[in-house]
Amino acid sequence: VKKENENLKGCITFEKQDCSGKQEAVIADILDEMYAHEPGYETVVQGYLYRLLSGLCNETAYHPALQTVRIRKDSRLAEAVMSYLRENRRRISRKELTERFHYNEDYLSRVVRKYTGVSLKNYMEDLLLEEAEHLLLTEEISVNDIMERLGYENETFFYRLFYKRHRMTPMEYRKKVGK
């Protein structure tokens, strides 16, 4: 919930009315799925999120309240950088980011790490590998075309990243997971 003042943001909090702990268990399940990062985890997490929101809407268990919080400037910057990376889904140089956002590349990297827990480079690689996974499963294009679309010029580097994440090549992933 956004306010007129860009430094303020509204958020909904949920005060616990009972002590069942069901929602905490759902949150733990979400984190487990995201950490395991198994094929199809996005769909499983989405189901857990529906369950979580449904439970939070139970007025006998939780009391929702709107609160206003002050947003830090670096938080808005991190959100803008991450949004830009998600929208573009291609390799973007740190130089391009500094020209786009008018901040030093080290500062941008520190801000993204602060809010994601991973480096700017790793955040971008994760996004690109997720996009590669999606393209492998939904489109009938070659791995080289996928690499080109995502901005990878070094085939060995791409295959190494992909293998490190999945313990299989992109083609093996397409055959195994795409069934």
Which of the given ranges, 63-67, 136-140, 174-178, has the highest pLDDT on average? 136-140
pLDDT of residue 143: 94
At 133, which amino acid appears?
Answer: E
Per-domain residue ranges of the chain: 8-70, 73-177
Beta strands in the chain (DSSP E): 8-16, 62-70
Which residues neighbour 58 within 8 Å (Cβ) at sequence distance 6 or greater? none
126-169 pLDDT, tens digit per residue, is: 999 999 999 999 989 999 999 999 999 999 999 999 999 999 99
pLDDT tens figures, 72-114: 778 888 989 999 999 998 899 888 999 999 998 899 999 999 9
User: Residue 21 burial (CB < 10 Å; 0-12/13-18/19+)?
Assistant: exposed
pTM of the model: 0.61
Q: If one looks up domain 73-177 in CATH, what number appears? A: 1.10.10.60
Q: What percent of the chain has pLDDT over 70?
A: 91
Among 74, 67, 64, 82, which residue's Cα sits nearest to residue 3?
A: 67
